[in-house]
Structure 1
Amino acid sequence: MTSILILNGPNLNLLGTRQPEVYGTTTLADIEVSCSNWATDNGCDVSFMQSNHEGALLDAIHAARGVHQGIVLNAGAYTHTSIALMDALASVEIPAIELHLSNVHAREEFRHRSFIAKVAIGLICGFGAHGYLLALDAMKQHIED
């Protein structure tokens, strides 16, 4: 069975209350329910992890090797700063999709730079919580092709 890891980085545990005008009112728990429902409907297994700590995200990426066939990563602010996350994704050789709730290209200039994009198979941004389902669809298609 296809297994996809959904990793969420810093501050995403505050979804639903953190800047709802930017990130919406859907909570991370709501997103996990939607993704679990998608997985059931699509014959996949989906695992979730959120951490505010870069090292924990690195450990999760390393542990995904041999377990998951794809990673959906919303690295939050680490997208723009973490060479370590980029290196980890490149090292495990698992296809990854970079995901953002907001359209990072319509925001502050510093958000336009992504270290994750350099090793991701694609980028989904600006669709709010629905972006997770788009990412799962895209990853499933990529794995099956």
Structure 2
Amino acid sequence: MSTPARSLPVTFRPTRTRVVLLGIGFALVAVLTLVSFLLTTFTVGDRITFIGTGLLGLGVLALLSRPKVVATPEGVTVVNLTTVRRLAWAQIVRVNLRPGDSWVHLDLSDGTSLPAMGIQTGFAKEKAISDARALNALVAEHGAARAAI
């Protein structure tokens, strides 16, 4: 069954995962800040350390919530944890989401594979499958159009 292509630009992002991670991060900061002020034996240095630890935890969780895949008329931008890669439509050969995969992999024209963590099965497997099909339809539509030019 073919999925109709979405209009561009479109951003694919694991929304539930992002909400959970950022929610936990902000809760961590709030709890550690509250505890640092409730414990009367803490010095200013102790409080700063507690709050700093909460902020560090929030930073790590924000980094984990960063992945996304952005499709524009020019191509696809894959944002993973620490890297950003821009691809022309013609560079993407296939979109793969095999059973057991945690996220989509893009097979590229140079023979390599690029993980696209912005479409992941974590909390919403059906959404990931739908997003992978939509990206595959966009690749089929725009990749073929670019190759013909």
- Relative to its length, the structure with more strand (as a share) is 2
TM over 0.5: no
| Normalised TM-score (structure 2) | 0.24
Q: Report the TM-score, using the length of structure 1 for normalisation.
A: 0.24
